[in-house]
Chain A
Amino acid sequence: MIPAPFEYARAASLEEALSFLAEHGDEAKLLAGGHSLLPLMKLRLATPGVLVDIGRIEELQYVRDEGEAVAIGALTTHHDLSRNPLLRRQLPVVAHVAGQIGDPQVRHRGTIGGSLAHGDAASDLPAVVLALGGTLVALGPKGRREIPASEFHNGFLETALEPDEVLVEVRLGKSGGTGWGFEKLTKRAQDWAIVAAVAVQREDAPGGVGVGLVNMASVPIRAASVEAALADGASVAEAAELADADSDPGADINASVEYRRHVAKVLVRRALERALAGPAGGDGAAGAAGAAGGAGAASEGGSS
């Protein structure tokens, strides 16, 4: 399978990428690692007229300690995130989740900015960025603007980015580093999540916890009702029962709506238990085949 014909332009710098976007307007589509976009193009579900390849712009590949926040360049690959010493120390949930995406080959190409800008609700990292209350930085002809993660995903594969803007950075507060849990249900190891849940301790959240859900709506979402219940003093088990309250999951070959709602409650409870466990909580074991419905559930978390 090959994509429909298109024009290709490789941007050597961010400035050049912006000028290509300004020149080609709506016809242009940004190409980072290409592991979401190229499969869609091969199936002719996406037929951009111009591909602007930003994959080699080195100025967007970094993880920096900026005091209160960790700043991640949009073109940092999942592989590099998973191995990054600063993230492993300050925001281990990001390194861990990045290291679970797809398979090693995918992680060598896929980028955090690509994952966010593509906006697939089944992607893992957008839910983590949401749970951490992150901020996304976009650059366009009118300059730089910051978009709260909660306002970034507007609808199915739609984001707040303007056609002439590039997502350049993801900023994450460090308070999410203390305790975390990530639970992902897949049929096979490399698959997209049927449902996944992430919970992170956050000093700046009313209930002290941020909770994100993967594949429970047309966009990545926060489990706001769970967070609010915890703020009101509910137990983890009580709060987890509200895991699907803010969701609108679809049915597909892998799961019915009812099954997704049930799984979300179970995974949120497990993720919360891990995130809120004391230092002895440690890493969880990965469950292989044999879990519910013959599917595998990977589970991990920690605290410090």
Chain B
Amino acid sequence: MKVEVRINGRSVAAEVEPRMLLVQFIREVAGLKGTNIGCDTTSCGACTVLLDGQSVKSCTMLAAQADGLDVMTIEGLAPDAGDGSAPGATALLHPVQRAFHEHHGLQCGFCTPGMVMAVTSLIAEAEPGSLDEAAVRVGLEGNLCRCTGYHNIVEAALAAAREAGVAAGATE
């Protein structure tokens, strides 16, 4: 069947089997390898992408279910440099990426793309003043870091939440 997904603003169309998973479509058809396959069982969150702005685990969706919809992967998160270069190809970072960089919110890095996308979704749908440390930890329950480097991931998420004005007690 023909599946067409807008990935990071670019339309990607292909003839695929109905059983192709969205994460396979992203990695093998669109060639975007930033989205990792970890557990392949909806547990670890390494394959988290945004579907119409909401975080989803792309190992537990068919590509067919995303047909005609908008997907954003880690490659599409950085702002457009405005010089014709591909998103992510420059030093420009999305605020969540910058927070992970500044707070060293990673160790081996395998979970990082999924963590960043999950944090981006968490902040986008948070009510103002709602994200404290407990809310961030609960909000990231769908993402596992096998290095157990959660402390700095949570610090990064809180910093990004403060910048977005949704952190508890934020004064911005």
**Interface set of A (CB-CB < 8 Å, partner B):** 1-8, 10, 31, 34-35, 38-39, 41-42, 51, 53, 55, 79, 102-106, 108-109, 188-190, 286
Contact = CB atoms under 8 A, between A and B. Distances in A.
Given A3-B19, A6-B19, A8-B18, A108 B61 contact: no
A104 B42 contact: no
A7 B42 CA distance: 23
Contacts of B20: 2
7 contacts: A1-B41, A2-B19, A7-B18, A31-B65, A39-B60, A104-B55, A108-B55
B77 to A, nearest CB: 16
Contacts of B56: 105, 108-109
B42 A106 contact: yes
Contacts of A35: 42, 60
B133 interface: no
Given A39-B42, A103-B142, 16 more contacts: A2-B24, A5-B18, A8-B62, A31-B65, A34-B61, A34-B65, A38-B61, A42-B40, A42-B41, A53-B65, A102-B142, A103-B45, A104-B121, A104-B141, A105-B142, A189-B141
A35 B61 CA distance: 8
Which interface residue of A7, A34, A104, A286 has the most chain B CB atoms within 10 A? Answer: A104
Nearest to B137: A189
Contacts of B17: 5
B64 A53 contact: yes
Given A2-B19, A34-B62, A35-B42, A106 B57 contact: yes
B65 A55 contact: yes
Interface of B: 1, 17-21, 24, 40-43, 45, 48, 51, 54-57, 60-62, 64-65, 67, 118, 121-122, 134, 138-139, 141-143
A104 B142 contact: yes
Contacts of B41: 1, 39, 42
Contacts of A189: 138, 141
Which interface residue of A7, A42, A53, A103 has the most chain B CB atoms within 10 A? Answer: A103
Q: Rank and list the top 5 A-B pairs by shortest CB-CB distance, nearest first.
A: A103-B142, A8-B18, A189-B141, A108-B54, A3-B19
B40 A190 contact: no
Contacts of B60: 34-35, 38-39, 109
Nearest to A99: B138
A105 B45 contact: yes
A105 B64 contact: no
A85 B27 CA distance: 38
Nearest to B69: A56
Nearest to A53: B65
Contacts of B55: 104-105, 108
Nearest to B55: A105
A224 B21 CA distance: 43
A102 B62 CA distance: 19
Nearest to A7: B18
Contacts of A103: 45, 141-143
A47 to B, nearest CB: 11
Given A38-B60, A104-B55, A106-B42, A2 B65 contact: no
A301 B41 CA distance: 31
A108 B141 contact: no
A105 B19 contact: no
B56 to A, nearest CB: 5
B150 to A, nearest CB: 12
A104 B125 CA distance: 11
